Chains A and B, each alone.
Chain A
Amino acid sequence: MTQDIFQIIKRNAADFVQVNLSNTNSNQVLFENQKIKDFSKVFSTSVSVSVWIGKKHGIATAPFFSMDLVNKAIKIAKISENLDFFYGLPREKKIPSVKGLYGGEKTEEEIIDSAESLIIKMKKGESMPEAVFEYSTSESRLVNSLGLDIEEKSSLFGSSIEYLLKDKEVISYGDGLNLRKIPQKNKIADFSNRVLNETRELKNPVKLKIFPDVVILSYNALAGLLGSVFLSNLNGLNVLKKRSILEGKEGERLFSDNFNLTDSGLLEGGVGSQNFDGEGTPSQKTCLIKEGILRSFIYDYNTAKHLNKKSTGNSAGGGIGHNNVIIGKGEGVDEDRALIVKDIIGAHTGNDVTTEFSVESMGALLLDKGQKRAVKDIMINGRMIDLLKNIAGVDKKIMNVGNIYLPQIAFRGIKVENL
């Protein structure tokens, strides 16, 4: 294949060629009402060929590589239009080897055996309507006409579980676990027990009468809101498109000094870690916000060049995307009275430019002098950019929600309303 690509360049059919290849072996165990319902095993391959002729770009994809596919991409590039800018492809060959990306192949028997640890003892009136246990292994390879030919082997584990409690009213709550490797069986059972206990905490909810000044956004709620209304503002492509509220504010103190945010592709065993990005740029760690000061945005090779910056190794899927988003831990949250919002629904109804949101809580607790009481029908509203200036406390413990690694954060200024 590499020779085929060089031939294309030699006969001047294209100026640059990049081929991304991947094959994935995925396994999914589906639970229904505390029992395994089915198991899916899927093997898939995918090849994407990108070709540039001058500033004209063409893409062709198929399950397998062939010269026909390359010729199709050339044909598409010829009828394309000049891009606003194109500076070439990265040629860096020193690629890091991030630890903990690959957990090895597993047999169906091993996967089922581990998955069954999700089933734990429940009380009367409690059920686990559905749960998913997934494990996939992938091999990806990137070849370009500048001589780059790099490979990566990785795996991903994911599980989600939902519990249902029937008491005076139906309480439904769920959570997920995302890692690179299948955890030990006792850790899987711990996850299942944690979600069940958190669901139990939500029993017998009451309407909130006096709204507290402080709202603690727990892991899922905070990750949901950051992902929907804030993180896109740190994307270099949105800076270029003038769709970032943070454009032109590098070096400015914009947030509370206990707010730190880093993008890293190097985190050991990180769900968003990788040795290289979609263009072959080596992964790196990029400080985006330090002690409340905006330090950088994330870039791919061409956007960075255009903005006179360096790529941060964030090329993803033809655009720019985060690797692992890591929010720094703090000294702890010490509030006497606060509303804890565990999860939310409707995060994507928020405005990702102004960062305004208005969402319903899905699992909320009133913390009052060390005691927790479930509350229901709560709406929270605010503007994330303002809230990050009003951080009342950052917790010490970090958990991950997908590729976002974060602590719980207590905010002042979130408007709380009853539905």
Chain B
Amino acid sequence: MIDIDFIKKEIEKYNVQYWDCRYSKLEQTGILFWNKELKQIGQGDFEGVGVRILIGDGWGFSASTKVDNGSLRELIKNAVKISKLLNKGKEKIKMENIKSIKDKKQIKGKREIGEISLEEKKNFLQEQNYELKDPIKSIYLRYRDIKEKRFFISSSSEIHQEIDSIYLVGGVSAFESGKSEEKQFRVAGLGGFENLKNSQQELDKTILGAKKFLKASSIKKGKYDLVLSGDLTGLFVHEALGHASEADFILKGNSCLKGLLGKKLAGENINILDDPTQENFRGFGSYYYDDEGVSSRKNYILKNGKLNSYLHTLETSKKLNTAPTGNARAENSLVKPIVRMSNTYMEKGDYNFNDLLEEIKEGYFLKGFKGGQTNPADGGFQFGAADAYYVKNGKIIEPVRGGGIGGHTLNFLRKIKFVEDKYSEESLGFCGKSGQVVLTGGRNPAVFVKEALLI
């Protein structure tokens, strides 16, 4: 743990405009089973502290895995030195003021992961039931849990958050006659083992999927009416719209959403929000406070089809003269907080799933995701779908191999016509940006997309 009074006293020695300090401590367990054999089992600890200093228009950040007072003094000195070096004195960077907070919060499981022995965790994976029989050639199960303590201090706030997270990723490979099919599943959540209750069911579905799609014929690329499952809707919402709504991209001028606030980008029935609160559901990207000490809140990115808000840090909200959104996040205390999403999702609509399929004369139902990439500057994106089904006259005819969606964010938004009346899939993501990975989530309905590009 760090000495808060010492940090405050050290920083007070310097004339700084803004400062904050973040400390984090992690205890992690990782287990890998491959083809029923335990391949790796380990535990890791991490502890670190980072100090951010603003003087004029110079930001300095210094961090270390050494957390003793001597190292803290050195860190603060370094951060001040850097911010003075960068301060050109031309314009002062301003930070949105927020109310001071002193709080302690935690998200723990019904049975805390720290109370479960390593042996019990190993046994849980060992007890997953599956057979390695042709065409299934390999199955891996990768488990990880993280007990994380985060401490945020600034001149006025002291916030302590403890969040446990857990995930199990499984992969199934099938090979036959020169064809290969790889399927993955994830079960995960904040809290404890209760998040893994569907692991066996998901593993069974994944094995069946790998066998089924191995024999399938390939998709025919082109423009079609499509139904996207909730997790693929979630991928589009996060990757294509969510990243483009991050205010750092807006300020740098490399977002296709720049200058479009208040503009209608989609149908009236489309509402998309970022919500780290746990009012309606606890997603994988939930938190109480962001890494600048801003309390979590619900932000509509699109409301009734109109671009309603960008996502902000305290600096970007001040620059764009708008309220903070609580989206400053850092992977750990060794990196700076930047604009990040939390749980990003589309609100459910009023079509049941079969009605969505009924809208397709000839097209495809795409389910799950298999990687993807987006360029927020021009809105170009490409996402692979894990499963695809050929649909004719509203009926699923057969599974097909390959498939994905591509296009441009703004064009694609306009093509989303109907939205499912329930949240059929939960998104569980590990989102990367600027070399940092944070947990993100969401829950999404399926959607009908008119004349979309199937790639």
In the bound complex, do residue B252 and residue A358 qualify as a contact, i.e. CB atoms below 8 Å apart? no
- Cβ of A417 under 8 Å from chain B: yes
- Cβ of A63 under 8 Å from chain B: yes
In the bound complex, do residue B65 and residue A44 qualify as a contact, i.e. CB atoms below 8 Å apart? yes
Q: Which of A60, A112, A169, A242 contacts B43 (CB 8 A)?
A: A60
CA distance A417 to B46 in the complex (A): 48
1/0 per residue, CB under 8 A from B, across A180-222: the answer is 0000000000000000000000000000000000000000000
A364 to chain B, nearest CB (A): 12
Query: What residue of chain B has the Cβ atom nearest to residue A134's Cβ?
Result: B435
A-side contacts of B61, CB under 8 Å: 38-41
- Cβ of A250 under 8 Å from chain B: no
A127 to chain B, nearest CB (A): 6
Give residues of chain A (83-139) contacting chain B, Cβ–Cβ below 8 Å: 83-84, 108-109, 112, 127, 129-130
In the bound complex, do residue A164 and residue B175 qualify as a contact, i.e. CB atoms below 8 Å apart? no
Give residues of chain B (316-374) contacting chain A, Cβ–Cβ below 8 Å: 334-336, 370-374
* Contact status of A419 and B407, CB under 8 A, knowing A39-B59, A42-B334, A353-B173: yes
A-side contacts of B334, CB under 8 Å: 42, 44
In the bound complex, do residue A76 and residue B42 qualify as a contact, i.e. CB atoms below 8 Å apart? yes
Query: What residue of chain A has the Cβ atom nearest to residue B379's Cβ?
Result: A170
Interface of B is mostly: strand
In the bound complex, do residue B455 and residue A379 qualify as a contact, i.e. CB atoms below 8 Å apart? yes
* Contact status of A346 and B371, CB under 8 A, knowing A354-B180, A379-B455: yes
Q: How many residues of A contact B (CB 8 A)?
A: 60
- Cβ of B137 under 8 Å from chain A: yes
Chain A interface: which of B31-39, B96-104, B285-293?
Answer: B31-39
A-side contacts of B58, CB under 8 Å: 38
Q: Which of A64, A81, A129 contacts B252 (CB 8 A)?
A: A129
Q: Which of B65, B122, B173 contacts A43 (CB 8 A)?
A: B65
- Cβ of B269 under 8 Å from chain A: no
A-side contacts of B374, CB under 8 Å: 345
Give residues of chain A (6-58) contacting chain B, Cβ–Cβ below 8 Å: 32-33, 36-46, 57-58
Q: Which of A33, A39, A242, A348 contacts B253 (CB 8 A)?
A: A33
- Cβ of A338 under 8 Å from chain B: no
Give residues of chain B (36-77) contacting chain A, Cβ–Cβ below 8 Å: 37-48, 50, 58-66
A365 to chain B, nearest CB (A): 17
1/0 per residue, CB under 8 A from A, across B374-387: the answer is 11011011111000
A-side contacts of B404, CB under 8 Å: 346, 349, 358
CA distance A129 to B61 in the complex (A): 21
* Contact status of A360 and B252, CB under 8 A, knowing A41-B61, A44-B64: no
B-side contacts of A84, CB under 8 Å: 37
B-side contacts of A36, CB under 8 Å: 86
CA distance A289 to B24 in the complex (A): 46
CA distance A244 to B38 in the complex (A): 22
CA distance A359 to B384 in the complex (A): 10
CA distance A36 to B83 in the complex (A): 11
B-side contacts of A44, CB under 8 Å: 48, 63-65, 334
A233 to chain B, nearest CB (A): 12
- Cβ of B11 under 8 Å from chain A: no
In the bound complex, do residue A130 and residue B175 qualify as a contact, i.e. CB atoms below 8 Å apart? no
- Cβ of B221 under 8 Å from chain A: yes
Query: What residue of chain A has the Cβ atom nearest to residue B181's Cβ?
Result: A351
Give residues of chain B (96-126) contacting chain A, Cβ–Cβ below 8 Å: 118-119, 122
In the bound complex, do residue B48 and residue A63 qualify as a contact, i.e. CB atoms below 8 Å apart? yes
CA distance A169 to B256 in the complex (A): 11
Query: What residue of chain A has the Cβ atom nearest to residue B377's Cβ?
Result: A172
1/0 per residue, CB under 8 A from B, across A289-327: the answer is 000000000000000000000000000001000000000
A97 to chain B, nearest CB (A): 29
CA distance A353 to B180 in the complex (A): 7
* Contact status of A58 and B42, CB under 8 A, knowing A358-B402, A419-B406: yes
- Cβ of B251 under 8 Å from chain A: yes
Among B43, B381, B383, find the residue whose CB has the most chain A CB atoms closer than 10 A: B43
Q: Which of B39, B173, B252, B381 contacts A243 (CB 8 A)?
A: B173
In the bound complex, do residue B371 and residue A169 qualify as a contact, i.e. CB atoms below 8 Å apart? no
Q: Which of B62, B65, B66, B375 contacts A345 (CB 8 A)?
A: B375
- Cβ of A340 under 8 Å from chain B: no
- Cβ of B148 under 8 Å from chain A: no
CA distance A349 to B402 in the complex (A): 10
B16 to chain A, nearest CB (A): 14
- Cβ of B200 under 8 Å from chain A: no
- Cβ of A62 under 8 Å from chain B: yes
In the bound complex, do residue A60 and residue B62 qualify as a contact, i.e. CB atoms below 8 Å apart? no
Q: Which of A58, A172, A241 contacts B41 (CB 8 A)?
A: A58
A-side contacts of B66, CB under 8 Å: 43, 45, 63
- Cβ of B179 under 8 Å from chain A: yes
B232 to chain A, nearest CB (A): 13
In the bound complex, do residue A81 and residue B402 qualify as a contact, i.e. CB atoms below 8 Å apart? no
- Cβ of A79 under 8 Å from chain B: yes
In the bound complex, do residue A81 and residue B65 qualify as a contact, i.e. CB atoms below 8 Å apart? no
B241 to chain A, nearest CB (A): 17
A372 to chain B, nearest CB (A): 20
A-side contacts of B402, CB under 8 Å: 358
In the bound complex, do residue A353 and residue B42 qualify as a contact, i.e. CB atoms below 8 Å apart? no
A137 to chain B, nearest CB (A): 15
A-side contacts of B195, CB under 8 Å: none
Query: What residue of chain A has the Cβ atom nearest to residue B67's Cβ?
Result: A63
- Cβ of A256 under 8 Å from chain B: no
A-side contacts of B377, CB under 8 Å: 129, 162, 164, 170, 172
B353 to chain A, nearest CB (A): 26
Give residues of chain B (272-305) contacting chain A, Cβ–Cβ below 8 Å: none
B-side contacts of A37, CB under 8 Å: 59
B129 to chain A, nearest CB (A): 17
- Cβ of A72 under 8 Å from chain B: yes
- Cβ of A390 under 8 Å from chain B: no
In the bound complex, do residue A57 and residue B40 qualify as a contact, i.e. CB atoms below 8 Å apart? yes
CA distance A67 to B258 in the complex (A): 55
In the bound complex, do residue B65 and residue A41 qualify as a contact, i.e. CB atoms below 8 Å apart? no
Q: Which of B81, B118, B380 contacts A360 (CB 8 A)?
A: B380
Q: Which of B34, B47, B221 contacts A63 (CB 8 A)?
A: B47
In the bound complex, do residue B44 and residue A60 qualify as a contact, i.e. CB atoms below 8 Å apart? yes
Query: What residue of chain A has the Cβ atom nearest to residue B34's Cβ?
Result: A241
* Contact status of A359 and B37, CB under 8 A, knowing A58-B42, A61-B42, A353-B175: no
A-side contacts of B228, CB under 8 Å: none
In the bound complex, do residue A63 and residue B45 qualify as a contact, i.e. CB atoms below 8 Å apart? yes
In the bound complex, do residue B254 and residue A129 qualify as a contact, i.e. CB atoms below 8 Å apart? yes
Among A40, A44, A46, A354, find the residue whose CB has the most chain B CB atoms closer than 10 A: A40
CA distance A130 to B81 in the complex (A): 23
A-side contacts of B45, CB under 8 Å: 61-63
CA distance A351 to B210 in the complex (A): 14
Q: Which of A41, A72, A360 contacts B78 (CB 8 A)?
A: A41
Among A127, A129, A172, A346, find the residue whose CB has the most chain B CB atoms closer than 10 A: A346
Give residues of chain B (201-256) contacting chain A, Cβ–Cβ below 8 Å: 221, 248, 251-254, 256
Q: Which of B41, B182, B371, B382 contacts A353 (CB 8 A)?
A: B182
CA distance A127 to B251 in the complex (A): 12
Could you name 9 residue pairs across A and B whose Cβ atoms are closer than 8 Å?
Answer: A32-B252, A40-B63, A40-B336, A42-B63, A62-B46, A76-B118, A345-B373, A358-B455, A379-B406
The 7 closest A-B pairs by CB, nearest first: A59-B42, A38-B59, A349-B384, A172-B377, A129-B252, A61-B44, A346-B382
A interface, CB within 8 angstroms of B: 32-33, 36-46, 57-64, 72-73, 76, 79-81, 83-84, 108-109, 112, 127, 129-130, 162, 164, 169-172, 241-243, 318, 345-349, 351, 353-354, 358-360, 362, 379, 417, 419
B interface, CB within 8 angstroms of A: 34, 37-48, 50, 58-66, 78-79, 81-82, 85-86, 118-119, 122, 137-138, 173, 175, 178-180, 182, 221, 248, 251-254, 256, 334-336, 370-375, 377-378, 380-384, 402, 404, 406-407, 453, 455
